[in-house]
Amino acid sequence: DAKTTQPNSMESNEEEPVHLPCNHSTISGTDYIHWYRQLPSQGPEYVIHGLTSNVNNRMASLAIAEDRKSSTLILHRATLRDAAVYYCILRDDKIIFGKGTRLHILP
C-alpha cells in the first residue's frame, strides 16, 4: 500500500501557482520524498525530491514540513502542459505509487 495521501484531483488557472499537498505521517528518517508526474499517454517522469530541506529545480519547488510528515509540490506558474497526475512517494528500495493527484489546468 502507498504510504502517502494526496487529494484525488485539483484545479488551477493557467499562469497561477499551484500547491499540491502530500501527507506521509509514517515517514522514516531515511526516506526521501520523491515527486513524479505522468502526462497523458506517457510514462511517469521525475519532478523533484528532497530529504529535509526545501528544494528547487527548473520544474518545481518542494517544501517539506519541519516534522517531515507532509510536503508540498509547488508549480510556480502553471501552464496547460502541466496538466497531469502528480505522485508523491517515499523512496526506499522500491517505489510504491498511490493514485496521485490529477491536476487540471484551466485556460
Partner 1 sequence: DAGVIQSPRHEVTEMGQEVTLRCKPISGHNSLFWYRQTMMRGLELLIYFNNNVPIDDSGMPEDRFSAKMPNASFSTLKIQPSEPRDSAVYFCASSLARQGRAGELFFGEGSRLTVL
In the complex, the smallest distance separating the C-beta of residue 77 from partner 1, rounded to whole angstroms, is: 23
Determine, following the binding rule CB under 8 A, whether residue 93 of this chain makes contact with partner 1.
yes
Determine, following the binding rule CB under 8 A, whether residue 39 of this chain makes contact with partner 1.
no
Tell me how long the chain is: 107
Pairing of strands 84-91, 32-38: antiparallel
Q: Which of 33, 36, 50, 82 binds partner 1 (CB under 8 A)?
A: 36
Determine, following the binding rule CB under 8 A, whether residue 97 of this chain makes contact with partner 1.
yes
**Residue 63 contacts by C-beta under 8 Å, 6 or more apart in sequence?**
54, 71, 72, 74
The beta strand positions in 14-69, using DSSP E, are 18-23, 32-38, 45-50, 55-56, 61-64
Residues numbered 70-89 forming contacts with partner 1, rule: CB under 8 A: 87
- Catalog residues that contact partner 1 under the rule CB under 8 A: 32, 34, 36, 42-46, 49, 87, 91-100
